[in-house]
Chain A
């Protein structure tokens, strides 16, 4: 399972915001932390703002602030903002134009997709933050998400 670069960047950013809901975090700060261009990141943050996950705060000390509900927002909610995670033709039952080989391969790929969807759809940001905390504890370091 590979997520697109924008999706991964969105997940990193959202976890950063959700981990510090009281802070306004600038795009430049996140861009520097993840070594991406501010221009590239701006598109991702704009989409997150459009969907109501974060809000943009203008002016001195401005930036972005988490406005979602970390106990309800799942990884899948973020992922589908950036890439298609729609049911396959096999899952939709639209197999008329498919060869038997297509259908058999489609069934296997659907199985993988369904499990991926169930996994992403059941992990909330709050659960992710706890998971990150546990990883940090077990690593014994001060590593931040990412």
Chain B
């Protein structure tokens, strides 16, 4: 599966419709009916609409079959304004089971209202219920905004180093 890159923007960067909102933020497992709004948020942020891709993400991470859903959406006034996707992975890279966050995104107009923080807290709680005690993510090192967001929640560099190389023809 192609892993979507986290794109949430840290609080304090851009004003939105719900800055420091008193509107309640509801976080719950994604439903099929939410997918159009999730796709729209992703398309707004990335400029690409990836309908087939999101259908496959929903099948894999959406509700159904998993004891702890790992594809969560945040709603304000019954509108999807953000989502987070993750998974508990066992013994990957030689590590004991830990929770991985693959994607977190908030609609630009809903930023600065704590939506990203609520999503991260919710998926962390879900991982805790699954019995894991470590949260991990991976992102581009030039993605300063999302790096700052995760660091503001206490995340630090982990013990893994990502490596890559060009494959010759």
Interface on A for B, CB 8 Å cutoff?
69, 71-72, 74, 114-115, 118-119, 121-124, 126-127, 130-131, 134
User: How far does the alpha carbon of A69 sit from the alpha carbon of B12 in the complex, in Å?
Assistant: 10
Whether B157 lies near A122 (C-beta < 8 A) is no
A74 lies within 8 A of B148 (CB): yes
Q: How far is the CB of A136 from chain B (nearest CB, A)?
A: 14
Contact A121 B144 (CB under 8 A): yes
Residue of B11, B12, B151, B154 most packed against chain A (CB within 10 A): B151
Q: Is the CB of A127 within 8 A of B148?
A: yes
| B152/A134 in contact, CB under 8 A | no
CB-contact partner of B144 in A71, A118, A126, A131, under 8 A: A118
Chain B interface helix/strand/loop/mixed: loop
Distance of A141 Cα from B64 Cα, bound (Å): 48
* A-contact bits for B133-147, CB 8 A (1 contact / 0 none): 000000001101001
Say whether A71 contacts B11, CB under 8 Å. Answer: yes
Q: How far is the CB of A88 from chain B (nearest CB, A)?
A: 15
CA of A124 to CA of B11 in the docked complex: distance in angstroms? 12
Query: Given A69-B12, A118-B142, A130-B152, 10 other A-B contacts at CB below 8 A?
Result: A72-B13, A118-B147, A119-B157, A121-B144, A122-B144, A122-B151, A124-B148, A127-B148, A127-B151, A130-B154
Question: When A and B form their complex, which 10 residue pairs have the shortest distance between CB atoms, in order from nearest?
Answer: A122-B147, A118-B141, A71-B12, A122-B148, A127-B152, A127-B151, A121-B144, A122-B151, A122-B144, A123-B151
CB distance from B3 to the nearest CB of A (A): 19
> In the complex the two chains form, what is the Cα distance from A69 to B10 in whole Å?
14
Question: CA A109 – CA B137 in complex, angstroms?
Answer: 25
- Distance in angstroms from B13 CB to nearest chain A CB is 8
Closest to B145 in A: A122
